[in-house]
Amino acid sequence: MAQFTCSICGDGFEQKSRLERHMDTSHPPQAPSAADVEKVLAGIQYPKSKKDLVQYASQKVSTVGKDLYDLIKSLPSRTYRDSADVTIALGELKSGKEPRTAQEVSKSQQPSKKGGVAAATTSISAAAIAKVFAGIDFPKRKDGLKEHAKKNISKVKVGSYGSDGDTNAILDIINRLPDKEYDNMADVEKAVSSII
């Protein structure tokens, strides 16, 4: 008779060490997402430096967990205009790209000469896209991501005004994702960061 039971799938084990190994391999903890970071930093008034963000998050470390706090501490040292800037920096870290310097960020914040879809996609944050995928079960192929996003998109306020242009831009980004299987939200965020 099994003495230890997995609280997620119900499998039983005679030894605690086997249950622990099962949890590590079958149900590994999810990596924090951009949406998780956005929740931690909700209510903060931008612009803020990395030091300000870390200090703000440190007040919530007991409720948000060490992994999420460490992720915020790993952000590049620069000033962040808004949560979208934080999300972009997280995307750079997760994709292995060299984080942009403060000068590069400042230069990228100059008014754009782009219009149409290109301008719309740059105004959409990865956190807004992550919200569209709230509650999704992985693994999913691109078609499954699109189907889930279409169901959820009307429930998510994605831009300052939540306009149809914003929702169309999010769907356009999802359409441009590589056609492959995504194992978790981190996979999706990595692919999104290469597009926006």
Angle 89-94-100 (CA atoms, 0-180°, nearest 5)?
Answer: 35
Q: What token pair was written down for 155?
A: 């429930």
Asked whether the predicted pLDDT for residue 150 surpasses 60, the reply is yes
112-145 pLDDT per residue, tens: 444 444 444 445 666 677 778 878 888 889 899 8
29-41 pLDDT per residue, tens: 666 677 777 777 8
What pLDDT, on a 0 to 100 scale, did the predictor assign at position 25?
83
161-188 pLDDT per residue, tens: 344 446 777 888 888 888 999 888 878 8
Please name the residues in contact with 130: beta carbons below 8 A apart, sequence gap of 6 or more. 33, 34, 35, 38, 185, 188, 189
Cα distance between residue 84 and residue 86, in whole Å: 5
pTM for this predicted structure? 0.42
What pLDDT, on a 0 to 100 scale, did the predictor assign at position 52?
92
What is 1-30's CATH topology? Double Stranded RNA Binding Domain (3.30.160)
What pLDDT, on a 0 to 100 scale, did the predictor assign at position 126?
64
DSSP 52-81: HHHHHHHTTHHHH-HHHHHHHHTS-SSEES
What pLDDT, on a 0 to 100 scale, did the predictor assign at position 17?
93
Cα distance between residue 69 and residue 16, in whole Å: 29
What pLDDT, on a 0 to 100 scale, did the predictor assign at position 15?
92
Cα distance between residue 19 and residue 11, in whole Å: 9
First and final C-alpha spacing in the chain: 53
Domain segments of the chain: what residues?
1-30, 34-110, 117-193
What pLDDT, on a 0 to 100 scale, did the predictor assign at position 163?
45
67-90 pLDDT per residue, tens: 778 888 888 888 888 877 887 887
86-99 pLDDT per residue, tens: 878 877 776 666 65
Lowest mean pLDDT among 50-59, 60-69, 94-103, 110-119: 110-119
